[in-house]
Amino acid sequence: MYFCACIPIKQSIYMKKSNLFLLCVPFLLFLFSCRPARQQSETSTSTENTKNKNKMNTAKETHLLLETSKGSIEIKLYNETPQHRDNFIQLAKKGFYEGTLFHRVIKDFMIQAGDPDSKNAPANQSLGSGDVGYTLPAEFVYPRYFHKKGALSAARQGDEVNPERKSSGCQFYIVTGKVYSESEILTLEHQMQQAKVKSAFDKLVRLHTKSIYKMRKANDEEGLRALQEELVTEAQARAAASGETHLTPEQVQAYTTVGGTPHLDGQYTVFGEVVSGMEVVDSIQKVATNRSDRPDQDIVIEKVTVLTD
């Protein structure tokens, strides 16, 4: 299933080192159910890459028109996400999106489309798993591009089966989100920090799987608790060293005025934005939906036209 995560978590996760254990799920249960996952490779930024990015920044951006049964939406694609840009243009020129539905709509969150299985789909058909047989590597340009209202982003499978956060080759979503208060932004920053700690902790757990199983087999509870303390300390250090634990002034300005979905930042590739027709997006997000978030009345993408490329 390709999706853009879930609705924002409502529970605050302010935590001290002593009870981070609760955030990570009961340690003795969680550790023994983990399976090793392939580590995400790191990419370095070379001088040549910087030059190429500068060229992309000054290049003309591609605009497309999405004609839907609710009205037209004009979007632009970012040059700094070239693989997502070129793929979207290619699919549009082939007429791939014509007849597909906005199959997942959640008010104050997002509207999602691009599933080829949604063409002429009966009302009771479950949607969201269709694809084109390939994925795209993540192209995070964060914090420059983030999940403000109107952002165009790629859907993807969850981290448990997709640790590299590769994007669907066809499914996308447009952010609607909500407007946040300054106090809510502060809470979100704390949640972002704790999420980084948990992510670092999970990776460390996978690296120590063999040792954990040995201690479990030997009923070495003392050893497990000592390892837990060690991994929590290291996870916190890694999270602190990774930086970007605070929202930029541009993000704060956007999220406290036009709104968005900040909890998705750095998790999904943002590769464009709406430049006109946001009132159409708003009208789509307000429609009645079923328990699977599919609109009761089909909202069809009738045509996608490349205006400039």
Could you state, in order of their start, the residue ranges of all structural domains in the chain?
59-178+258-308, 180-256
For the domain bounded by 59-178+258-308, which CATH number is listed?
2.40.100.10
What is the percentage of the chain residues whose pLDDT exceeds 90?
Answer: 66
pLDDT at 58: 53
> What does the alpha-carbon distance between residue 85 and residue 97 come to, in Å, rounded to a whole number?
15
> What does the alpha-carbon distance between residue 51 and residue 58 come to, in Å, rounded to a whole number?
11
Per-residue pLDDT tens digits of the chain, which is 309 residues long: 766 655 443 332 222 333 333 334 344 334 433 333 333 333 344 445 445 544 455 578 999 999 999 999 999 999 999 999 999 999 999 999 999 999 999 999 999 999 999 999 999 899 999 999 999 999 999 999 999 999 999 999 998 899 899 999 999 999 999 999 999 988 888 887 888 888 889 989 999 999 999 999 999 999 999 999 999 999 988 877 766 667 899 999 999 999 999 989 989 999 999 999 999 999 999 999 999 999 999 999 999 999 975
Contact 278, 15 (CB under 8 A): no
pLDDT at 116: 98
Contact 32, 38 (CB under 8 A): no
pLDDT at 308: 77
Contact 251, 262 (CB under 8 A): yes
pLDDT at 262: 92
Element (H, E) at 294: none
pLDDT at 75: 98
pLDDT at 245: 62
Match 């994007």 to its residue by tokens.
167
pLDDT at 239: 79
Q: What are the tokens at 81? A: 């996400």
pLDDT at 181: 95
